[in-house]
Structure 1
């Protein structure tokens, strides 16, 4: 169980693709937290939109994170 934020609406338990989308977004630091005024911002509606979303919203990485990613073979 993870703290996804007040604006998170859980998919149906059987909707495997939507749960996979949520998992990928969470792994990349995207949750559904907001101040309550405008929501958390755009989040992809479908699994096939996730890669483009992540590419457009690459998060800043510290030098340590970049080194760790190189050492572990992650991008």
Structure 2
């Protein structure tokens, strides 16, 4: 079985985030951690990879707009 891995740019596009940094902060809040790092093809800086199914599951489990999570 092959695990689908996404870059932070792919995660940002899936979530509709305004930037990769915003998507990264969101994943951190949701408890989704990077599973590995690979060199970026151009800059050679480390680029995080995330399991796509974990990102999808976390996005599906997030509370909806206007949800009062402080009342739980």
TM over 0.5: no
Structure showing the higher strand proportion among its residues: 2
TM-score after normalising by structure 2: 0.33
TM-score after normalising by structure 1: 0.32
Q: Higher relative contact order at CA 8 Å, sep ≥6: structure 1 or structure 2?
A: 2
